Amino acid sequence: MRTIFVDVDVQNDFCVPSGSLYVKGAPTDVIRRLVAYAVAHRIPILGSVDSHAWDAWEFASAGRAGPNGERPNFPDHCVKGTPGWLKVVGTLPPRFRFVPNVASAPLAPIVDEVIRGETQGVYFEKEVYSLFVNPLADPFVKALAAQFGEPLSFVVFGVATDYCVRAAALGLAQRGYTTTLVTDAIAGITEAGVARAFEEMKSAGVKFAKSGEVCT
């Protein structure tokens, strides 16, 4: 079984205290160790990055609702190109690519690079919670499985447990992939939200492990 690490939204606006949507207790040191371990052991990293325009409907400042009437009224965050949008220092492998949130793009060259170990990390831009709202994420994962020729096992970490981490882990598990959550490499917004997320993930078959169990 081929292991792939999944880095969820480890960006400055979420993970450093000065970030506009800081998740208290974001375990950046543990995440850096996981990334370093992946690079050292030639484990591919897939990831998500929250990517917004300045007038995203999620923002209170935009004054408008989302496509389904949503009004989360978040502060402006992860506006593409700003310091808050950037990945936390030390959480990118030396060789990586970002995949835009678009309907179609050539994926085969990037899949081949990952298979050969040339590209070590691939990060999918998204506007809402799930990694899989990027329409290129699902076909990319399927292409990886086909090229590797063996089942895939995903190891998930990042922020926030009760939002984007939950969405990524459930998305993978519901697609039939073996999925493990690294419990000391996540942080959530509320205790109640985290508890609900854990119950949902457990019910979906997600496994739980510490970083020391993953990095062996």
- Domain at 92, CATH number: 3.40.50.850
Average pLDDT over residues 29-34: 98
167 touches 129 (CB < 8 A): yes
Residue 170's pLDDT is 98
Please report which helix (H) or strand (E) contains residue 96, including its range. Answer: strand 96-99
Q: Please give the residue range of the domain that contains residue 7.
A: 2-214
More confident residue, 129 or 187: 187
How many CB atoms neighbour CB 178 within 10 A? 16
Residue type, 203: S
Residue type, 156: V
- Ranking 44-48, 54-58, 143-147, 170-174 by mean pLDDT, the lowest is 54-58
Residue type, 182: V
Average pLDDT over residues 71-90: 94
- Reported confidence tier of residue 68, pLDDT bands at 50, 70, 90: confident
In this prediction the pTM is 0.96
137 touches 98 (CB < 8 A): no
154 touches 129 (CB < 8 A): no
- Provide the mean pLDDT of the chain: 95
Q: How many domains does the chain have?
A: 1
Residue 169's pLDDT is 98
Residue 58 has pLDDT above 90, yes or no: no
For residue 144, is it left (φ>0), alpha (ψ between -120 and 50) or beta? alpha
Residue 140 has pLDDT above 90, yes or no: yes
7 touches 35 (CB < 8 A): yes
Residue 209's pLDDT is 98
Residue 67's pLDDT is 80
Residue 64's pLDDT is 85
Residue type, 54: W
- Closest by CA position to 50, among listed 5, 95, 81, 96: 81
User: Rounded CA gap, 117 and 133, in Å?
Assistant: 26
Average pLDDT over residues 63-78: 85
Residue 123's pLDDT is 98
Residue 8 has pLDDT above 90, yes or no: yes
Beta strand 2-8 with 121-126: parallel, antiparallel or unpaired?
unpaired
- Reported confidence tier of residue 70, pLDDT bands at 50, 70, 90: confident
Q: Which residues pair with 155 in a beta bridge?
A: 5, 180
Average pLDDT over residues 102-117: 94
Tokens for 206, please give them.
């997600």
CA dihedral of residues 78, 81, 83, 88 (deg, nearest 10)? 70
Residue 42's pLDDT is 97
Residue 216's pLDDT is 84
Residue 69's pLDDT is 79
